[in-house]
Every structure is written in structure tokens, then in C-alpha cells.
């Protein structure tokens, strides 16, 4: 984590590319699965900040220190990669 980071200055943090370890990603996905919140996170009408803050708190208790906005961005990124791979497989198999 960077010195001086806080949840309040996350506007600047949106421009910082964070590196995630495989362990962080696996733990993040496991937590999402355990809490069964994929449909909530995929909902465009649901405000998800509170959910990401709760995920962050649990991940922090496991020793993974990222801002809640990083979890939001990682979820969007992983979902986008999944959809891209799924489409590529559909095209390949057709």
C-alpha cells in the first residue's frame, strides 16, 4: 500500500494500476462465491460500494490490503476477461 493512502482520496487511486497476486485473486473470487454475491455485483441498478467495502474488510482481515475501489475494478476486469474468453470459445467451436 502507498503511504498516505486513505479511502477518501480514491479519485487519484483510479489512475494507479495495482498488481494483484494470484493468491489475492483466488481469495477474492472465493469470497465472492462464498457470499453468493455475483448477481448483486452484476446488477447495474444496485449501488455496490457498501458490498465492496465489506469485501475489502474481510480481505484486509486475511492480510490483503487494497482499497474498496480496487476490488470493484478487479471484479469488472475479471468479468470482462471471462466474457471475452467465453465469446472466443463460442466462435472457435462454431
Residue ranges of the domains in the chain? 20-93
CA 44 to chain CA mean position, Å:
15
Task: Supply the pLDDT for residue 12.
Answer: 45
Task: Supply the pLDDT for residue 9.
Answer: 45
Q: SS in 3 state form for 36-59? A: CCHHHHHCCCCCCHHHHHHHHHHH
Task: From 34, 37, 25, select the one nearest 64 (Cα to Cα).
Answer: 25
Record the pTM.
Answer: 0.71
- The CATH H-level (homologous superfamily) assignment of domain 20-93 is Homeodomain-like (1.10.10.60)
pLDDT digits (tens, 9 = 90+) for 18-70: 899 999 999 999 999 998 888 788 766 557 888 999 999 999 999 999 999 99
- 20: alpha, beta or left, given left = phi > 0 and alpha = psi -120 to 50? beta
When pLDDT is cut at 50, 70 and 90, the band that residue 93 belongs to is confident
Amino acid at each position: 500500500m502507498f503511504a498516505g493512502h486513505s479511502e477518501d482520496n480514491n479519485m487519484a487511486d483510479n489512475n494507479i494500476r495495482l498488481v494483484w497476486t494470484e493468491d489475492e485473486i483466488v481469495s477474492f473470487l472465493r469470497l465472492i462465491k462464498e457470499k453468493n454475491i455475483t448477481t448483486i455485483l452484476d446488477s447495474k441498478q444496485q449501488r455496490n460500494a457498501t458490498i465492496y467495502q465489506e469485501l475489502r474488510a474481510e480481505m484486509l482481515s486475511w492480510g490483503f490490503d487494497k482499497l474498496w475501489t480496487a476490488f470493484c475494478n478487479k471484479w469488472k476486469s475479471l468479468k470482462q476477461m471471462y466474457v471475452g474468453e467465453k465469446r472466443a470459445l463460442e466462435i472457435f467451436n462454431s
